[in-house]
Structure 1
Amino acid sequence: MVRVALLAPFASSNPAIQNEALALHNAAELALFEQGDSTMLLMPIDSGDTPESARTAAIEAIRSGADFVLGPLFASGVGAIAPYSRANNVAMFSFSTDISEAGRTIYVLTFLPEDEARNIVRYAGQRGIKRLIVLAPEGRYGDRVSTAARETASAMGLKILVDQRYDPRSSGLDSAIEASRRVARMIGTGRENAILIPERGPVLRSIVQTLTEAGASSRNVRYLGTGLWNDAEVLSDVRMEGAWFVTPDFGARAGFEARFNEAYQQKPTRLAGIAYDATAMLARMTKGGNKSGASPRAIEAPEGFSGVDGLFRFKAHVVERGMAVNEVVARRSKVVQEAPQSFLP
């Protein structure tokens, strides 16, 4: 018997988090039904909302004979669980964006900001962008996006004009607005210039408005973004037209959403596909109870896997995704580069 523990905050006092946990469970259950057999057992265990409760859940899972662990959902729980995973040589697939514990038995399977930054900067370089500005919030998220963007730009031969930050906590968006004005003065104009803006919602729209008013509009400077831009209000802003941003392969996801809805009479959450992919991958590898089939070599196969959100694989134990590139046009977006169907040349 192959035992897979799913650690999620099933008993959270926050209804949204509780709903997310249920969606993760349902997605894993669906994957087991579609891809597994009677030799795999799914063990849902409440990981709570704290590092302590996550640690307790991990201990329970391992004592119950878990061969693999899916979760936890929160970054604080990853560090609490990781030592038990390593000490017992139990592979863990974290749903958190925390990559600090990645390595040995710890794999990170989620949507990562640096992965999106690498994809969009690489595409921009391939399409003739020569100079890049990073306009990002202060803090860990901005640091991760900026580092990935600058490393990719360097590899593509792009010049980094400036790494401009703003305080996301400032009242009235003053810091973001002033940073946007500085950027507009620095970059000048020209379609070989681009500004990476890893923001969302009102903050993104305020930044774009400021850039436009200061002379760095999307008509003469290319805006670059992440999956956070896939929002109706953002896409309907005419000032965004011509901007490029990345998303997972939504075409691949459509079938999963239809099957999930049919089984559970509700739409899956954004993260539900991660639980499906992890469970499906393990189910295929361990058919007939063959635990050794899910070896590190198999998990880290360079050709990767076809998942709910398109192609993915693990590099240095951290997920890498094949993404689509979209352009904002006429209050909507269109795909200008399809998500890859293979990582191999």
Structure 2
Amino acid sequence: MFGYLKRSLAVAMATLTLAACQVIPGGGTVDRAPPVENPNAGLPDAESLPTDEARHRVALLVPLSGTNGEVGQSIANATTMALLDTGADSLRITTYDTAGGAESAARRALADGNKLILGPLLRDNVGAVLAQARPAQVPLITFSNDISVARSDVFVMGHAPEQSVARTANFAIDQGARNFAALVPSGEYGDRVLAALRLSLETRNARLVTFERFDRGNRSIISAAGRLRERGGYDTVLIGDGARLAIMAAAELKDAGAALPSLIGTELWAGDISLTQNAQMRGAWFAAVPDERYRQFAQSYESRFGAQPYRISTLGYDAVLLSLRIARDWRPGTRFPTERLTDDGGFIGLDGAFRFLGTGVGERAMEVRQVGNGTFSVADPAPTRF
């Protein structure tokens, strides 16, 4: 099942850090990186596509300019790396800039004969791309982390916060947690996190005692955490936001060195070393995809492009590995075999094991990490296969 991708990764790793995180709306968690010089280096030119029929034509739809241009370029660079690292000559990946309009980018990609679309990056662009792709029977593998856009022909590859919350909550329950509280931001992300926590607790006969919402970008999380502490009655608190706000909340929720309440977080905590420098955060848990292969990937990326990649760029790399795996039984010029994406055994990539359900939702094998004094440790390793 995993043999081909494992061999591909072995080649990649032979040639192949983490920074503060931000959230791209609908696009998942990414790391800050400086702009890449000569951003179009190594990218195919959509205006001068060759006419060969021996390769599978795959379109990459990402923004190459505007607010998320650096993120899109990082993903594009990662797809180029995957082709180089594997020595693959069966795919021709052409990049189309969605910054000028996702619908027009999709229209150009289909006119050029592409049979699979990798992207778009943003959830809000999925509908426009799908409107063009569905009549042509061309599936999408989107880099968004919003599972609400998943369909039988839209496969969500991003790291969904719902899965991170479920993994961590279940681990906490295994350690004895029974009564939970939550601090979640106002808005869609907070709604998703809270709903995932509720569902996880219901399936394990644990309970959500209370929760508080707060406004991002100000100190309202401190007030919300104070109200939560006064109320009491819980042994574990989910803080559904990034490291900076989590640290502010932790100072209100518990005393340094206190065992309870236990603190748990989401995938937004991944890679932020500031968590390990705060006494109240010691012992906190969160779930994220494994990082071992990412570190090697980041070193290789920097040597090639002179900058650190955005964390989300591994999705581009893994999407190529996935396409190569399926391309073994895919005749060029024919419809992409969408049914192969829902192989029960899943696939292996830089971010570990993953698989797509029939609904289009991408399921990730995540590890649980514990915040220590100056470092993170793995409290529960990610499964290596499904």
TM-score (norm 2): 0.80
Task: Report what 1:226 is aligned to.
Answer: 266
Q: Residue 58 of structure 1: CA displacement?
A: 0.4
Contact 2:330 2:337 in 1 (8 A): no
Give distance in 1, aligned partners of 2:153 and 2:340: 13
Task: Report what 1:248 is aligned to.
Answer: 289
Unaligned runs of at least 5 residues, structure 2: 1-54
Q: Residue 322 of structure 1: CA displacement?
A: 0.9
Q: 1:293 to 1:157 in 2, by over 3 A?
A: farther
Contact 2:138 2:336 in 1 (8 A): no
Is 1:5 the counterpart of 2:5? The answer is: no
Give, as a single letter, the amino acid of the residue that structure 2 aligns with 1:317.
G
Contact 1:137 1:168 in 2 (8 A): yes
Is 1:77 the counterpart of 2:140? The answer is: no
Structure 2 residue corresponding to 1:335, chosen from 378, 383, 386: 378
Give distance in 2, aligned partners of 1:104 and 1:87: 14
Point out the more displaced range, 160-169 or 79-88: 160-169
Give, as a single letter, the amino acid of the residue that structure 1 aligns with 2:95.
P
Structure 1 residue corresponding to 2:195, chosen from 147, 153, 156: 147
Give distance in 2, aligned partners of 1:293 and 1:65: 10
Structure 1 residue corresponding to 2:85, chosen from 30, 34, 56: 34
Contact 2:238 2:263 in 1 (8 A): yes
Contact 2:257 2:279 in 1 (8 A): no
Q: Residue 111 of structure 1: CA displacement?
A: 1.6
Aligned residue for 2:383, secondary structure, equals: coil
Give, as a single letter, the amino acid of the residue that structure 1 aligns with 2:224.
A
Task: Report what 1:112 is aligned to.
Answer: 160
Give distance in 1, aligned partners of 2:88 and 2:370: 42
Give, as a single letter, the amino acid of the residue that structure 2 aligns with 1:226.
T
Aligned residue for 1:161, secondary structure, equals: strand
Q: Residue 130 of structure 1: CA displacement?
A: 1.0
Structure 1 residue corresponding to 2:236, chosen from 183, 194, 199: 194
Task: Report what 1:212 is aligned to.
Answer: 254
Aligned residue for 2:385, secondary structure, equals: coil
Contact 2:139 2:336 in 1 (8 A): no
Give distance in 2, aligned partners of 1:256 and 1:55: 32
Give, as a single letter, the amino acid of the residue that structure 2 aligns with 1:38.
D
Q: How does 1:190-339 map to 2 (within 5 A)?
A: 193-212=235-254, 218-230=258-270, 231-287=272-328, 290=331, 295-315=337-357, 316-339=359-382
Give, as a single letter, the amino acid of the residue that structure 2 aligns with 1:212.
K
Q: Residue 294 of structure 1: CA displacement?
A: 5.4
**Cα deviation 1:115-153 (Å, max 9, x = unaligned):** 111111111122211111121111110010111111111
Q: 1:146 to 1:333 in 2, by over 3 A?
A: same
CA RMSD of aligned residues (A): 2.2
Q: 1:218 to 1:64 in 2, by over 3 A?
A: farther
Q: How does 1:115-194 map to 2 (within 5 A)?
A: 115-168=163-216, 172-174=218-220, 176-188=221-233, 193-194=235-236
Aligned residue for 1:136, secondary structure, equals: strand
Q: 1:8 to 1:128 in 2, by over 3 A?
A: same
Give distance in 2, aligned partners of 1:82 and 1:101: 10
Point out the more displaced range, 259-268 or 99-108: 259-268
Give distance in 2, aligned partners of 1:117 and 1:218: 23
Task: Report what 1:102 is aligned to.
Answer: 150
Sequence identity (%):
28
Q: Residue 340 of structure 1: CA displacement?
A: 1.1
Q: 1:288 to 1:143 in 2, by over 3 A?
A: closer
Q: Residue 332 of structure 1: CA displacement?
A: 2.0
Give distance in 2, aligned partners of 1:59 and 1:40: 20
Aligned residue for 2:137, secondary structure, equals: coil
Aligned residues: 329
Aligned residue for 1:55, secondary structure, equals: helix
Q: Residue 210 of structure 1: CA displacement?
A: 1.3
Q: 1:229 to 1:39 in 2, by over 3 A?
A: closer
Q: Residue 288 of structure 1: CA displacement?
A: 7.4
Give distance in 2, aligned partners of 1:38 and 1:168: 47
Contact 1:85 1:106 in 2 (8 A): no
Point out the more displaced range, 108-117 or 245-254: 245-254
Give, as a single letter, the amino acid of the residue that structure 2 aligns with 1:303.
G
TM-score (norm 1): 0.88
Aligned residue for 1:245, secondary structure, equals: strand
